[in-house]
Chains A and B, each alone.
Chain A
Amino acid sequence: MTFQAEWLRAMLLSTSLVFAATGPTLADSAPGEGKVTDFLLDNGMEVVVIPDHRAPIVTHMVWYKIGSADEPPGKSGIAHFFEHLMFKATTNHAAGEFDRAVSDIGGSNNAFTSYDYTAFHETVAPQALEQMMSFEADRMRNLILTDDVIKTERDVILEERRMRIDNNPEAVLDEEVDATLWQNQPYRIPVIGWMQEMEQLNRTDATAFYDKYYRPNNAVLIVAGDVEPDAVKALAEKTFGKVARGPDLPPRVRPIEPEQNTKRTVTLSDARVSVPSFSKQWVVPSYHSGKDGEAEALDLLAEILGGGTRSRLYQQLVVKQGIASNAGAFFQGTMLDDTNFTVYGAPRGDAKLADVEAAVDAEVMRIAKDGVTSEELEKAKDRYVRSMIFARDKQDSMANIYGSTLATGGNVQDVQQWPDRIRKVTADEVKAVAARYLVLDHSTTGYLLPQTQAGN
């Protein structure tokens, strides 16, 4: 259907998500009968090869295990800023040369930064793979950072912040909800950074960041497409393998959350808003931080509670009661540390926001108290299995699933065994995570309200 409450969903999409994935999805074997292979280079760089011989195309990605949640205090935005700086001149290539090389062969390239990782990618014909590796290996260590380059590019990321956040009330609220949900964990800080800290980022910060994190022993290479593992290995050794290993990095231990024991609300009233909306979040385990099966159960819980038009929230609030234009739930499991579980809704017609929130709360309480039916559970599992088959249709989906998993503490086996683990989840386990984590008195709620409306 065409109607999508984008103005509402925008509030929920993490700024860092650039590929739409509801969680890791995987085919048992990639298309073209290729078997996923992984190995280490001598300098510590991890490599994953995902053969897919349907087309003479290859997706080449370098994932660094460094994201905004690893930034030094007071330097928010440096991870994303550095992503931009990686496109500047090196000792071997002038600024723009890499981009031109990619576009000259009709390829595409870009990069993205999240809380836990930064990734650089190119999609090209297989014969250009070595050239891409050579460029990536070069910029891993040979960037030339001048004050002029820093100043101009810093202006670019400030404009990016204005575009994504400051011009947009939903995004402003979202940012401050995160900063309220997370009391200690660095996920409280926006990936793009706080404006006043971004403005001060300088060459010293950038150089220190580069020297510490941009090393082969902190990187994962993902190559998906029309290639063979042996050939990839030979090329990787010839290019990335020549880059010196950096000092061993300490484990990624971040400040952890204190006990969640309050109910917090964040309210933004803005003249641009005509339809109020809310989102409510909890701190929950991720695939990396959770105990066995918890994240799988949370994935299924999110699907059953609010994953789509067949979900409880949509059916109850939008279809049966007719009080909401939209309502749903969301869980992002691929994170290094604990993550968030979100429910949301917006009223329609004469309904009040408070009615929508009360109805959402009621569904949350009901699922925590009474659990899910075996039929709901099976259907949710079927949808996941289906999404894995559909995911095989896009090479970059596969590359992103492996890259994000490996950059958040997982391994190739975790990805491959994921469907079986989803299949094993019981109704009791889904009920247990709902009861354990979705406690209304320990939640953080964001309200986006019209200017004229008083607070909740």
Chain B
Amino acid sequence: MTRLGTIRFRLHIAVLFLSVLFLILPAVTARASVAIQDVKSSKGVDAWLVEDYSVPIIAIRFVFDGGSTQDPPGKEGLANLMTGLFDEGAGNLDSEAFQIRLDDVGAEMSFDERRDGTYGSMRMLAERKDEAFDLLRLAITQPRFDQAPIDRIRAQILSGIIAGENDPDTIAQTKWAEAIYGAHPYARSDQGTRQSIATITPDDLRAFHKANFARSGLHVAVVGAIDAETLKQKLDLLFGDLPEKQQLKPVADIDPRLAQHVEVNYALPQTSLQLAYPGVKRDAPDFFAAALMNEILGGGTFTSRLFSEVREKRGLAYSVNSSLINQDHADALIITTATRSDRAAQTLGIVRDVVKRMAEEGPTEEELAATKKYMIGAYAINNLNSSSAIAATLVELQVDKLGIDYMQRRTAYINGVTLDQVKAAAKKLLSAEPAIMVVGPKLGEVANGG
């Protein structure tokens, strides 16, 4: 039990690492500043490196642009299925042989897809790095996609899909995505459907791998006990022989459809509420003004306005927060909370009042000053608390095209934001009529005492 945890009700929107500090994490350690080297291999593969020998491990993380938006229509779930197969046979090693080797070498490898990218990572012991990188090379360049593991992983995914079919939260996520994204690929489930995953063949997987795993859409970060020269060789080994150019289908930008109500009525003791307002692009000039405003409204501290009004003063909810969500093709500001079902209408009213007041008046000078200090100081603690976290952060900085010196510039960006800019951002984002989702008994038709 924690005083503030994550809410079970998950957003059907990928939260990017640097989009916002969206919850209080358990205590962490961090390097307050990191020296990043820009490393280019002889075959032209680029990576950011943080060299650090204090713990004898190496973490690598990389992403290929694309992700589940690239699933062909009717083959939804292809990227997700593919990411489940990289440790199920590669090169001359079948599934079992590969996994035994990986275990012997003591490396942890994982792949996951998001809407806009296919991610891979490995954490290894420095003393076994040659063997570990070699297994990673096999997985990236020569995945086998054998029929038996395909069928096994597909059956696991199918179980997960079936498991959600009567679950109100899962039903709600699907309904919400379809309501706000319409015909856009973001409306589709990463896992796919019963029907779509049944159609996926080994050839589909090979074609997807070939089109997506190419160097034009690759971003790499490495942290730990390895020097630049050694890393260059490893980069060539891992990525040097991949095709030069990705073959991606273009994905349109979309403004989420707001000003609508989505309801999933179910007799639950607690009603979940979700509101979506317009967002702000990661590279927009008013991004930091919006980020500061969001932090004051309902960000990751115990001092936000929503936390104060909904939880501290009235005890209406355990969890209430707002997040700025940035994806490649859509942005939004999302507020979530959950409350006893007979108080859902009241809670929704209070959330909307807090938003309205922020839209009309903006924050105070004191709130802004305090929040600037928080956002500057919390960056390291929230994003750089382990080798893997640093590697993940550096990959997102590359994806967002923020530059290798971003961490040095970030403080000045935040300090440069004026109160008027924050007020303008509040008005711009929060004056809109939101999309609202209610998961629970129909609002106003509940009478329970708890």
Contacts and interface: CB of A to CB of B under 8 A. Distances in A.
Interface in B1-51: 1-5, 7-8, 24-32
Contacts of B312: 95-96, 152
A164 to B, nearest CB: 7
Contacts of B108: 390
Interface in B240-283: 268-270
Nearest to A195: B450
B386 A156 contact: no
B221 interface: no
Nearest to B320: A159
Interface in B293-322: 301-303, 308, 311-319
A237 interface: no
A50 B291 CA distance: 35
A100 interface: yes
Given A1-B111, A57-B380, A310 B1 contact: no
A8 B375 CA distance: 36
Contacts of B3: 83-84, 87, 110-112
B156 A3 contact: yes
A319 interface: yes
Given A107-B378, A272-B168, A325 B54 contact: no
Contacts of A151: 315
B163 interface: yes
A88 B270 CA distance: 26
Interface residues of B, number: 92
A215 B24 CA distance: 27
Contacts of A59: 27-29
Contacts of B54: 31-32, 54
A382 B102 CA distance: 13
B381 A107 contact: yes
A275 B159 contact: yes
Contact of A106 (B56, B379, B450): B379
B74 interface: no
A2 to B, nearest CB: 4
B165 interface: yes
Contacts of A273: 163, 166
Nearest to B165: A274
Given A1-B153, A348-B158, A155 B29 contact: no
A140 B32 CA distance: 30
A395 B28 contact: yes
Given A103-B302, A167-B269, A393-B386, A3 B340 contact: no
A169 to B, nearest CB: 9
Interface string A84-122: 100100000001100110011111111111100000011
A104 B165 CA distance: 44
Interface stretch (B79-87, B179-187, B419-427): B79-87
Interface stretch (A14-22, A255-263, A405-413, A429-437): A14-22
Nearest to B109: A1
A144 to B, nearest CB: 15
Nearest to A161: B318
Contacts of B387: 393
B113 A2 contact: yes
Chain A CB within 10 A, most for which of B25, B55, B165, B388: B55
B125 interface: yes
A394 B270 contact: no
For chain A, the bracket of interface size reads 35 or more
A241 interface: no
B27 A55 contact: no
Contacts of B378: 103, 106-108
A434 B213 CA distance: 46
Given A104-B374, A159-B338, A394 B28 contact: yes
Interface in A344-396: 346-349, 379, 382-383, 386, 389-390, 392-396
A451 B98 CA distance: 41
Contact of B380 (A5, A55, A80, A275): A55
A382 to B, nearest CB: 7
A245 interface: no
B97 interface: no
Contacts of B379: 106
A19 B26 contact: yes
B382 interface: yes
A296 interface: no
B401 interface: no
B115 to A, nearest CB: 13
Nearest to A112: B2
Given A55-B29, A57-B32, A106 B377 contact: yes
B106 A386 contact: yes
Given A54-B29, A57-B381, A167 B268 contact: yes
B425 to A, nearest CB: 20
A272 B169 CA distance: 10
A3 B159 CA distance: 10
B394 to A, nearest CB: 16
A333 interface: no
A56 interface: yes
Nearest to A171: B8
Nearest to A120: B3
A105 to B, nearest CB: 5
Chain A CB within 10 A, most for which of B27, B152, B373, B386: B27
Given A164-B8, A325-B160, A158 B125 contact: no
Contacts of B268: 167
Contacts of A106: 373-381
B56 A389 contact: yes
Chain B CB within 10 A, most for which of A346, A390, A400: A390
A109 B24 contact: yes
Interface string B98-121: 011001101010111100000000
Interface in B421-450: 450
B164 interface: yes
A177 interface: no
Contact of B99 (A167, A225, A275, A309): A309
A163 interface: yes
Contacts of B8: 163-164, 167-168
A238 to B, nearest CB: 22
Nearest to B103: A310
Chain B CB within 10 A, most for which of A54, A57, A167: A167
A168 B270 CA distance: 10
B4 A225 contact: no
Contacts of A348: 155-156, 158-159
A455 to B, nearest CB: 19
Interface of A: 1-3, 5, 7-8, 15-16, 18-19, 31-32, 52, 54-57, 59, 61, 80, 83-84, 87, 95-96, 99-100, 103-114, 121-123, 125, 151-160, 162-164, 166-168, 191-192, 195, 199, 224-225, 271-275, 309-310, 318-319, 322, 325-326, 346-349, 379, 382-383, 386, 389-390, 392-396, 399-400, 450
9 contacts: A108-B25, A121-B27, A163-B7, A166-B269, A272-B166, A348-B155, A386-B106, A392-B55, A395-B385
Interface of B: 1-5, 7-8, 24-32, 52, 54-57, 80, 83-87, 95-96, 99-100, 103-104, 106, 108, 110-113, 123, 125, 152-153, 155-160, 162-168, 268-270, 301-303, 308, 311-319, 338-340, 370, 373-382, 384-388, 450
The 6 closest A-B pairs by CB, nearest first: A106-B377, A155-B315, A395-B29, A325-B159, A162-B270, A160-B318
Given A105-B377, A225-B29, A389-B56, 12 more contacts: A1-B86, A3-B80, A3-B84, A3-B157, A54-B31, A57-B31, A103-B370, A108-B27, A108-B378, A109-B302, A275-B159, A394-B386
